[in-house]
Amino acid sequence: MVAATSQKSISLTLRVWRQAGPSAPGKFVDYPAKNLNPNMSFLEMLDVVNDELVRKGEEPIAFAHDCREGICGTCSLSINGKPHGPGRGIATCQTYVRSFNDGDIVVVEPFRAKAFPLVKDLIIDRSALDKIQAAGGFISVRTGAAPDANAIPIPKADADLAMDAASCIQCGACVAACKNASAMLFVAAKVSQLGLLPQGQPERDRRVLAMVNTMDEMGFGSCTNQYECSAACPKLISHDFIARMNRDYLKASFRSVFKPAPAVTSGGGA
Amino acid sequence: MAQLDSRIPPGPLADKWRTHKANIRLVNPANKRKYEVIVVGAGLAGSSAAATLAELGYKVKCFVYHDSPRRAHSIAAQGGINAAKNYQNDGDSVYRLFYDTIKGGDYRAREANVHRLAEVSVNIIDQCVAQGVPFAREYGGLLANRSFGGAQVSRTFYARGQTGQQLLLGAYSALMRMVGNGGVQLFPNSEMLDLVIVDGQAKGIVVRNLITGEISRHAADAVILATGGYGNVFNLSTYARQSNATAIWRAYKRGACFANPCYTQIHPTCIPVTGDYQSKLTLMSESLRNDGRIWVPKKAEDRLKDPNTIPESDRDYYLERIYPSFGNLAPRDIASRAAKRVCDEGRGVGESGLGVYLDFSDAIKRLGEAGVAERYGNLFDIYHEITNENAYKVPMRIYPAVHYTMGGLWVDYNLMSNIPGLFVLGEANFSDHGANRLGASALMQGLADGYFVIPYTIGDYLATQKPGSRPSADAVEFKAAEQNVVGMTKRLLDTKGTEPVSHFHKRLGKIMWEGCGMARTEASLKKALQEIPKLREEFWANVRVPGSEKTLNQSLEQAGRVADFLELGELMCLDALTREESCGGHFREEHQYPDGECKRDDEKFAHVAAWEFQGEGKAPLRNVEPLNYEFVKMSVRNYK
């Protein structure tokens, strides 16, 4: 039985946050979304609603999206109060209409955090995360200066754990899910990935200090160990990495008292 | 007529790159900071180029339409990256990687470019490991490899199913390091809408800020486009929704030649279209064909029946029947075309009739459900997530989808287009994959161009430009380009028709898929060439773009991109019509062997077709760069 194609259609009421610009007042507006194919993705439903708005001469709902396969990290909707919606371990773009019941009212909002100022409707500005990366989320290696790739063996377990951390898609759901709007899961993932690898050791101290300090400057809160971040993470990145980062940060802080790290925001190089 | 000098260095194949590097002009270190370079795009090619040029001391401005450079669609590549490391001791070498890539491209790429690609492939892996890219490893701590299509050695490096993501994050981290120390000025949310030519050379761009709507002019000593492929001309593809051709198309309209636009890659194993609302096609890894059997019902009237009730005698395992030696592992282009043929016969499955079964029931009998889950569990999960079907119980439905474009702007050996000062990297250029790209070669090319080719070759151009001689962004050419952009924006907003942009994009996609898709004929192409101009006219008469140009306006962004696709699609059909042979991804039904293989015509078509814009409403000029095979014998591509 090809079950999925024989299901009945679903009709929803979308209660969508509309806000013309950063300083304009925002409000919820209801839009009917009728006779939807249950196998339609949530974003495809918004496409259809938008096309109808355009035909009526209204401005479509602005929302961020790109790859629509859960890897680029662009989509960023809170659906019924949950970042990325009801599913676990998926991004907004991997949410399907069949996750809802016929007749449901579905509340659609942007990710909300002080460090993510609203741009328009459902679109937010997440450039604070790029600034954290620019402060230290790298290994300083000039192109062409690398030794042979097999010169330094890395235990498989370390490489695998680094890969778990590296699967972060920088969507900001961890921040939106946290009552403190903390970015610690995001920062911890990057700090852990590079800190687990031998190539990341020379800059380990300055990296964690720079990234954590920049995170604080950008207006993100701190972690109070509720782990909403991991629960909302589309890649299910573990909050264990936060403990790892805190340990690194503490050690680096002590060490930097005796041997101050160089100016952290200069990435080195030319 | 454009001058197409490929500038391939003389000498033995294996020495060309080394000799070239030793002979080209250099810019002295103190002078590098006096040059500004614009990089448009920040995928693998753009990020790696911007980071490396800044490390060398050039002042770099990097423009991306994404909110962060890390969102570029390189991030979605799954399988891996090829490199001739021979870590497996299985006989790999630079020559073998070169040969496989040339043959895979059906002898329609330049020997010298492809050999250079194979040479630098080994450096890419070193560079990425040093950056902290967590490639898969063996228990001994050394790097793991797997094998991929079109090769008989294991040379593919991978990071789970997220190789593109990890390589892009490596390049992104290098880029952000240079942003942090001021070497690169980053312009996110910025879309290039025109190229500025001053005295015949590329000297800047015009950009729209997608948040504020502000139009700005930027001057530089050289411009690099690394803006990806144009597969979204088909509307439905495995590309990201925002992927577009606008940067390269507007460069084409400023005089850059567009090479082999008809070369597109169709990947055989994607999840089929389910409805008119669909925005995206998702790839299912080709590895599934190792254990899955592909079939359709023998009788068209069975196509909507529950597949589990169709008896064995009523099933047509068509790949096993037609290609007994390769069976379900027939090459990508063969498998794609065969699926299309059975669907055209009315035997396609699913509501749309555009699907074939990929059936694991035999594998489950042989290995048990747990055995199949161990090999492919994550893919079955993805399939379930999208289709809500359990592929352990019901066969998967798959169908081919547009995946990559081998064509792109014409470049010489230095990756410079026919416009001096305009360089083109990655999928946006045409250079290395000929008429068909092998798996795990796209990531290799993007990073080769950005890390290891452009940092050398750009100096050869910049050394001819006096430091400080770049024009002001207030020069008349810049203002004229800005007016061009403002005019087009106004025209889109003022049309005030009745249909949204998506309406036209969907119809264009359908015309392209039917006329210039997996199989092309003279008749289908001529039909498309009649329909596209009509659709374009309709678009300009009846598109509705609400809102203003002074704010974030996604309809406006989309409208500009679709307007360009409506022109590019026509050029693709024209190129496909003119190339009266079959090669790689370009399959003209009139030119095939009895077994359905591509029939090339090396006498007439062993060349690159580089199209040159002649003005609105005028037929473009078809320039030709002959492909001289000095080192490899062109032969019939055979994987049997």
Start-end of CATH 3.10.20.30 domains in chain A: 9-120
Spatial distance between the Cα atoms of A166 and A215, rounded to a whole number of angstroms: 18
pLDDT surpassing 90 at residue B151: no
Spatial distance between the Cα atoms of B426 and A52, rounded to a whole number of angstroms: 37
Q: How many helices (H) and strands (E) does chain A have?
A: 9, 7
Whether the complex's predicted ipTM is more than 0.90 is answered with yes
Do B291 and B375 belong to one domain?
yes
Amino acid making up residue B464: T
B61-98 pLDDT tens trace: 999 999 999 999 999 998 789 999 999 999 999 999 99
Token pair recorded at residue B487: 């005019």
Of B52, B176, B546, the CB nearest to A137: B176
* B241/A72 CB distance under 8 A: no
pLDDT surpassing 50 at residue B145: yes
Domain boundary pick from B337, B372, B402: B402
Closest CA to B267 of B320, B235, B231: B231
Closest CA to B168 of B583, B414, B450: B450
pLDDT surpassing 70 at residue B640: no
Burial of A15 (0-12, 13-18, 19+ CB in 10 A): middle
Asked if residue B14 lies in contact with residue B96, where contact means CB atoms within 8 angstroms, the answer is no
Spatial distance between the Cα atoms of B410 and B407, rounded to a whole number of angstroms: 8
pLDDT surpassing 90 at residue B310: yes
Residues of B in contact with A46 (CB under 8 A): none
Token pair recorded at residue B359: 């059936």
Neighbours of A267 (CB within 10 A): 25
Please state which architecture CATH assigns to domain A126-140+153-258.
Orthogonal Bundle (1.10)
Domain boundary pick from B366, B386, B402: B402
Residues of A in contact with B125 (CB under 8 A): 149
Of B66, B75, B551, the CB nearest to A71: B75
Residues of B in contact with A37 (CB under 8 A): 274-275, 277
pLDDT surpassing 70 at residue A263: no
Q: Which chain B residue has the Cα nearest residue A136?
A: B177
A177-230 pLDDT tens trace: 999 999 999 999 999 999 999 999 999 999 999 999 999 999 999 999 999 999
* Residue B317, CB-side half-sphere exposure with 13 Å CA sphere: 20
Q: What is the pLDDT of residue B46?
A: 98
Spatial distance between the Cα atoms of A170 and A66, rounded to a whole number of angstroms: 14
Closest CA to B572 of B408, B404, B332: B408
Spatial distance between the Cα atoms of A29 and A121, rounded to a whole number of angstroms: 11
Do B389 and B490 belong to one domain?
no
DSSP, res A221: B
**3-state per-residue secondary structure call for B511-544:** HHHHHHCCCECHHHHHHHHHHHHHHHHHHHHHEC
Q: Which chain A residue has the Cα nearest residue B78?
A: A71
pLDDT surpassing 60 at residue B366: yes
Residues of B in contact with A155 (CB under 8 A): 137, 141
Q: Is B187 helix (H, G, I), strand (E, B) or coil?
A: strand
- Exposure letters A66-96 (e unless 16+ CB within 10 A, then b): bbbbbbbbbbbbbbeebbbbebeebbbbbbb
Q: What is the pLDDT of residue A262?
A: 56
Average pLDDT over all residues of chain B: 95
**3-state per-residue secondary structure call for B196-211:** EEECCEEEEEEEEECC
Domain boundary pick from B350, B380, B402: B402
Domains contained in chain B, number: 2
Would an 8 Å CB–CB cutoff place A67 in contact with chain B?
Answer: yes
Would an 8 Å CB–CB cutoff place A213 in contact with chain B?
Answer: no
B177-193 pLDDT tens trace: 999 999 999 999 999 99
Helices A184-196 and A127-136 cross at an angle (nearest 10°) of 30
Q: What is the pLDDT of residue B146?
A: 83
Do B387 and B512 belong to one domain?
no
Q: What is the pLDDT of residue A267?
A: 43
B525-571 pLDDT tens trace: 999 999 999 999 999 999 999 999 999 999 999 999 999 999 999 99
Spatial distance between the Cα atoms of B289 and B124, rounded to a whole number of angstroms: 30
* B241/A66 CB distance under 8 A: yes
Token pair recorded at residue B515: 């006329």
Return the residue in B37, B48, B55, B186 with the most chain A beta carbons within 10 A, the one to mutate for interface testing. B55
Spatial distance between the Cα atoms of B196 and B369, rounded to a whole number of angstroms: 60
Mean pLDDT of B406-433: 98
Distance of CA A70 to the CA centre of its chain: 11
Please report whether residue B385 resides in a domain.
Answer: yes
Q: Which chain A residue has the Cα nearest residue B127?
A: A146
* B275/A140 CB distance under 8 A: no
Do B386 and B507 belong to one domain?
no
Spatial distance between the Cα atoms of B449 and B171, rounded to a whole number of angstroms: 13
Higher-pLDDT residue of B464, A257: B464
> What is the distance in angstroms between the Cα of A104 and the nearest Cα belonging to chain B?
20
Asked if residue A85 lies in contact with residue A94, where contact means CB atoms within 8 angstroms, the answer is no
Return the residue in A46, A130, A217 with the most chain B beta carbons within 10 A, the one to mutate for interface testing. A130
pLDDT surpassing 50 at residue A265: no
Quickly list DSSP for B308-335: GGS-GGGEE-HHHHH-TTTGGG--HHHH
Do B393 and B497 belong to one domain?
no
Closest CA to B69 of A66, A155, A49, A165: A66
Confidence category of residue B60, pLDDT binned at 50, 70, 90: very high
Active site residue B332: yes
CATH number of B328's domain? 3.90.700.10
Domain span holding position B358: 269-402
B282-305 pLDDT tens trace: 998 777 887 899 999 999 999 999
| Main-chain dihedrals φ then ψ at residue B540, nearest 5 degrees | -70, -15
CA B306, B308, B309, B312 dihedral sign is positive
Please report whether residue B164 resides in a domain.
Answer: no
Q: What is the pLDDT of residue A261?
A: 56
Start-end of CATH 1.10.1060.10 domains in chain A: 126-140+153-258
CATH number of B505's domain? 1.20.58.100
Q: What is the pLDDT of residue B438?
A: 86
Sole residue written with tokens 């890894």: B285
Spatial distance between the Cα atoms of B179 and B50, rounded to a whole number of angstroms: 10
Asked if residue B263 lies in contact with residue B585, where contact means CB atoms within 8 angstroms, the answer is yes
Longest dimension (CA), chain B: 76
Of B70, B142, B278, the CB nearest to A44: B278
Higher-pLDDT residue of A262, A208: A208
Distance of CA B61 to the CA centre of its chain: 24
Mean pLDDT of B8-22: 97
Residues of A in contact with B385 (CB under 8 A): 90, 94, 96
CATH tag for A9-120 (out of 3.40.50.2000, 3.90.950.10, 2.40.50.140, 3.10.20.30):
3.10.20.30
Asked if residue B241 lies in contact with residue B227, where contact means CB atoms within 8 angstroms, the answer is no
Of B240, B452, B554, the CB nearest to A62: B554
CA B226, B229, B232, B233 dihedral sign is positive
Burial of B364 (0-12, 13-18, 19+ CB in 10 A): middle
DSSP, res B424: E
* A146/B126 CB distance under 8 A: yes
Of A40, A72, A147, the CB nearest to B75: A72
Confidence category of residue B313, pLDDT binned at 50, 70, 90: very high
pLDDT surpassing 50 at residue B42: yes
Looking at chain B, the whole-number percentage of residues with pLDDT higher than 90 is: 86
Q: Which chain A residue has the Cα nearest residue B551?
A: A21
Please report whether residue B315 resides in a domain.
Answer: yes
| Main-chain dihedrals φ then ψ at residue B423, nearest 5 degrees | -110, 150
B592-632 pLDDT tens trace: 988 778 999 999 999 999 999 999 999 999 999 999 999 99
Mean pLDDT of B129-141: 96
